[in-house]
Chain A
Amino acid sequence: MMHILKNTRSAKLPRLAALLVAVAVLGLAGCDDHAGDPKMQIGANPVLPALQQYLMPPIRVAEVVGWGKETPSVPEGLQVHALATGFQHPRSLYVLPNGDVLVVESNGPKAPIYRPKDIITGWVQSFAGAKAKDANRITLLRDTHGDGIPEVRTVFLDHLNSPFGVALIGDSLYVANTDAIVRYPYQEGQTSITAAGTKLTDLPGGPIDHHWTKSMLASPDGSKLYVGVGSNSNVGENGIGAEYERAAIWEVDVASGAHRIFASGVRNPTGLQWEPETGKLWAIANERDEIGPDLVPDYLTSVKDGGFYGWPYSYYGQHLDPRIMPQRPDLVASAIAPDYSLSSHAAPLGLAMYTGAGLPANYRGGAFVGEHGSWNRTPLNGYKVVFVPFSGGKPSGPPQDVVTGFLDESNHARGRPVGLAVDKNGALLIADDVGNTVWRVSGSTPKPAS
């Protein structure tokens, strides 16, 4: 039988129990929903089971307990500690050239209610800590000694609108709010920006704004910004009109603000990075829900110019999704299967290609992925930071767990990893939007500050 909201706050249990009983009595929960081993869905050819449709899709969110005195676990050769705590929903990180760390504290806009289901969804998200108070600001941390203890902490930019991506080009700092890219003048060493920003371009925002995060990456020559724009629905249920220029990676011209669709059919591209060896664009993406605990695997992929990656019509190439009508066989025929599956519902939300020298040599050239963790499968998946080794510009092996312990023994969430960044000394930084902490992972014999 399904276990609905197995781990939720006890105060909510009577209502949940009533819901469970109501469903069980109706015999709607008869199906056995135990998910397969996520390891079967790793790499280029994940096992894809037949899709299921539910009367009551499984929901399982980890109850939030916080870190207390605990810290995440890392393998031998690494150490981890909190760079700073007490944030309000930190979602992404950016390291400025002088080593200052920008912590983007952000949360999504209020979701409108279009169907009775939206009321339930909002309610479930509140258990997972997704409805935390959002600061909509960027905090600056400065660690001049490189010892992982910041001496300066200031509000760098305030009154933003659900920001996520940040990119510095020359003396212009670009912030991707959920509805626009805004440019601010920046001088090296500045600890706060008070100047009013200039809008570079609008981005698809409300009123639905289902996937609100706008990841952003500057091209190496500084002429273009690449922006990950998530879909406006799970699988097109808000109408295809709501998906205009969404589920896509935009290429924005920095000089004019004009944009074109660089790649499409990527449901929610939450992280963009340049692969260091080939210089190609890579992305992580979150795939669709409600067709089974092992569908559809989230992925890491190279992004081809003009490529179509399937959403909403198909997944992993030509696997059709019956939930979208009218179908588009012409588009499905051209759909590209992503390069590397990260397994289903792991929810990758942070990507960092590692080129630093602070961590052991085996991490060089590979990708760290922050997996925020599942909310709709049993057992839980994700809730960790993994490392995908690369060689020759392609993933070359299974992911290794690098930072774990985000779940305790009873599957309660101490925290959930989101955005990643590599600091000036080559340490890996992790934003934890439930633990409200930024974690710093460094080599266990700390290198002296350069």
Chain B
Amino acid sequence: MQHHATIAEASFIRDVDLKPARKSRGRPIHRMLVSFSAAYFVGALVTDIVYWRMPDVMWERFSIWLIAAGLIVAGLAAIAYVIDLAGRRRIDRPAWPRVVGYALAVLLALTNAFVHSRDGYTAVVPTGLMLSALVVVVLALTALVARALTNRHRFGV
């Protein structure tokens, strides 16, 4: 009896040990925020294109608010990334191409926010529109490169 009880106790302790370990390998928080900000930046490109074709100030205002919202969420993503690193959550390896690409996109978007704060048509055409497009291109390339590298890592190529 004494022996059996010891085994049960040991297996219980092992279960408790495993649970937080498995949770820490869950989806990192920052990934969702990164996706959100990317969606805002893509939205800004769409409203910029509409403004370029039909210069009504409403579209220009949509663009600057979308860029601003994207930047705020990007800031939250950066905080979440630090928390994820500190919490040793599983971050897709290799992480650096993603981080560098995303940081570049956010810096371009910040510059774009200044350009979009100009008055009138030149807040968008041509510099703002070009920057909006560039942000989306950098985000897309980052996602593609990161996925390629992840797959290579996963399949051990």
Residues on A facing B (Cβ under 8 Å) = 26, 28, 53-56, 114-117, 233-239, 290, 312, 321-326
In the bound assembly, the distance between CA atoms of A237 and B121 in angstroms comes to 8
Given A53-B118, A116-B64, A116-B68, answer yes or no on A325-B55 (Cβ-Cβ < 8 Å). yes
**List of A residues within 8 angstroms of B110 by Cβ:** 26
| B47-64 to A contact mask, C-beta < 8 Å, 1/0 | 000000001111011001
In the bound assembly, the distance between CA atoms of A325 and B122 in angstroms comes to 9
**List of B residues within 8 angstroms of A54 by Cβ:** 114, 118
- What residue of chain B has the Cβ atom nearest to residue A325's Cβ? B121
Do B56 and A290 have beta carbons less than 8 Å apart? Answer: no
Given A26-B111, A239-B56, answer yes or no on A234-B119 (Cβ-Cβ < 8 Å). yes
- What residue of chain A has the Cβ atom nearest to residue B114's Cβ? A55
Contact partner of A117 (CB less than 8 A), chosen from B55, B56, B117, B121, is B117
Contact partner of B119 (CB less than 8 A), chosen from A26, A55, A290, A326, is A290
**List of B residues within 8 angstroms of A237 by Cβ:** 57, 60, 119-120, 123
Do A28 and B64 have beta carbons less than 8 Å apart? Answer: no
Do B118 and A290 have beta carbons less than 8 Å apart? Answer: yes
B51 → A minimal CB distance (Å): 10
Do A56 and B114 have beta carbons less than 8 Å apart? Answer: yes
- 19 A-B pairs with C-beta separation under 8 A: A28-B111, A28-B114, A53-B118, A115-B64, A115-B65, A115-B117, A116-B68, A116-B117, A234-B120, A236-B120, A237-B123, A321-B120, A322-B121, A322-B122, A323-B122, A323-B123, A324-B121, A325-B55, A325-B121
Do A114 and B61 have beta carbons less than 8 Å apart? Answer: yes
Interface presence of B91 (CB below 8 A)? no
Interface presence of B115 (CB below 8 A)? yes
Do A325 and B61 have beta carbons less than 8 Å apart? Answer: no
Interface centre among A115, A235, A290, A325 (most CB of B within 10 A): A115
**List of A residues within 8 angstroms of B113 by Cβ:** 116
**List of A residues within 8 angstroms of B114 by Cβ:** 28, 54-56
A326 → B minimal CB distance (Å): 7
Do A323 and B117 have beta carbons less than 8 Å apart? Answer: no
Do A323 and B65 have beta carbons less than 8 Å apart? Answer: no
B75 → A minimal CB distance (Å): 12
A407 → B minimal CB distance (Å): 28
Interface centre among A55, A239, A322 (most CB of B within 10 A): A55
Do B122 and A239 have beta carbons less than 8 Å apart? Answer: no
What 5 A-B pairs come out closest when comparing CB atoms?
A323-B120, A325-B121, A237-B119, A55-B114, A239-B57
In the bound assembly, the distance between CA atoms of A116 and B112 in angstroms comes to 13
Interface presence of B134 (CB below 8 A)? no
Q: Considering the complex, which residues of chain B in the window 115-157 have a beta carbon less than 8 Å from any beta carbon of chain A?
A: 115, 117-123, 125
Do A238 and B57 have beta carbons less than 8 Å apart? Answer: yes
**List of A residues within 8 angstroms of B56 by Cβ:** 239
- What residue of chain A has the Cβ atom nearest to residue B51's Cβ? A325
Do A233 and B118 have beta carbons less than 8 Å apart? Answer: no
B61 → A minimal CB distance (Å): 6
Interface centre among A114, A116, A235 (most CB of B within 10 A): A116
In the bound assembly, the distance between CA atoms of A237 and B57 in angstroms comes to 7
**List of A residues within 8 angstroms of B64 by Cβ:** 115-117
- What residue of chain B has the Cβ atom nearest to residue A323's Cβ? B120
- What residue of chain B has the Cβ atom nearest to residue A240's Cβ? B57
B132 → A minimal CB distance (Å): 15
B134 → A minimal CB distance (Å): 15
Q: Other than the known A115-B65, A323-B121, what 6 A-B pairs have Cβ atoms closer than 8 Å?
A: A53-B122, A55-B114, A115-B61, A321-B120, A324-B120, A326-B55
Do B61 and A323 have beta carbons less than 8 Å apart? Answer: no
**List of B residues within 8 angstroms of A116 by Cβ:** 64-65, 68, 113, 117
- What residue of chain A has the Cβ atom nearest to residue B121's Cβ? A325
Do A325 and B115 have beta carbons less than 8 Å apart? Answer: no
**List of A residues within 8 angstroms of B95 by Cβ:** none
Do B107 and A26 have beta carbons less than 8 Å apart? Answer: yes
B81 → A minimal CB distance (Å): 19
